């Protein structure tokens, strides 16, 4: 693990770069607590942000529970900002356990204070609203053609704390009635920084 804390609030999304651990708590539309899950998040610049062009490519890799076969101890860490040698790392197979619950992986193009991208049936659209606050819209197309929307507000009150809150919105089917635009679930997430760099095992290309 390194102490590389050269993030820059002036570079959009850069404060998110690093290795994080946290929990997501899920609530019903009525505010009833349902469950909590633990996950690890690695965020790194696939192509470092160019301050002149105001462009870059940033990647998100999230694993549920203890899906990655590592906790950082004794693992090789990668400089998540400079991108040197990342091509070789991307060619390696991800260290994912056979009992994995899920993985969430996105590749995003950053253009100034806006980002756009996703993976497969998931599209992500986001923006910086102030140096420590972001808004993200995640749109997922279901097998039946319906779309579910996740609206997240991201707050980073300190370099080591990341709070995310927002509802899952979509066509809610209940007692034979379909309601468009209804809140299905509310999700509250809290992450704590482990390192400014990320484990090499969390750097892998989208499938």
Strands (E), 65-121: 77-78, 103-111, 114-119
Q: How many residues does the chain have?
A: 207
- pLDDT reported for residue 117: 94
Compute the average pLDDT of residues 173-195. 84
pLDDT at 96 over 60: no
Q: Domain extents for the chain?
A: 14-202
**Nearest alpha carbon to residue 59 among 81, 38, 37:** 81
Q: Strand pairing of 114-119 and 103-111?
A: antiparallel
- The alpha-helical segments, DSSP class H, found in 42-194 are 86-90
DSSP 3-state assignment of 14?
Answer: helix
Domain 14-202 fold is: Lipocalin (2.40.128)
Q: 90 is written with which tokens? A: 């991307």
Compute the average pLDDT of residues 189-198. 93
What gap in Å lies between CA 1 and CA 192, rounded to an integer? 15
What gap in Å lies between CA 35 and CA 148, rounded to an integer? 20
* 7 neighbors 162 (Cβ within 8 angstroms): no
pLDDT tens sequence across 119-168: 888 899 999 999 999 999 998 887 777 788 899 999 999 999 999 999 99
What gap in Å lies between CA 170 and CA 175, rounded to an integer? 16
Average pLDDT score over the chain: 81
pLDDT tens sequence across 51-90: 999 999 999 988 766 544 444 444 576 666 565 656 655 5
What gap in Å lies between CA 63 and CA 119, rounded to an integer? 15
Confidence of residue 16 (pLDDT cuts 50, 70, 90): very high
pTM of the predicted structure, to 2 decimals: 0.81
Compute the average pLDDT of residues 180-192. 89
What gap in Å lies between CA 68 and CA 94, rounded to an integer? 8
């Amino acid at each position: 693990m390194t102490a590389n804390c050269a993030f820059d609030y002036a570079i959009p999304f850069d404060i998110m770069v690093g290795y994080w651990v946290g929990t997501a708590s899920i609530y019903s539309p009525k505010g009833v607590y349902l469950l909590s899950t633990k996950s690890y998040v690695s965020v790194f610049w696939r192509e470092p942000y160019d301050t002149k062009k105001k462009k870059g490519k940033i990647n998100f890799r999230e694993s549920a529970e203890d899906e990655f076969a590592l906790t950082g101890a004794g693992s090789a860490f990668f400089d998540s900002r400079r991108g040197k040698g990342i091509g070789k790392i991307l060619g390696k197979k991800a260290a994912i356990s056979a009992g994995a619950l899920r993985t969430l992986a996105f590749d995003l193009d950053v253009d100034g204070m806006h980002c756009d991208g996703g993976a497969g049936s998931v599209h992500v659209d986001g923006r910086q609203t102030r140096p420590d606050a972001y808004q993200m819209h995640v749109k997922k197309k279901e097998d039946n053609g319906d779309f579910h929307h996740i609206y997240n507000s991201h707050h980073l009150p300190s370099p080591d704390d990341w709070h995310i809150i927002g509802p899952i919105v979509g066509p809610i089917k209940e007692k034979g009635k379909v309601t468009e635009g209804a809140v299905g679930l509310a999700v509250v997430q809290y992450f704590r920084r482990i390192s400014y760099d990320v484990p090499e095992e969390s750097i892998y290309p989208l499938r």
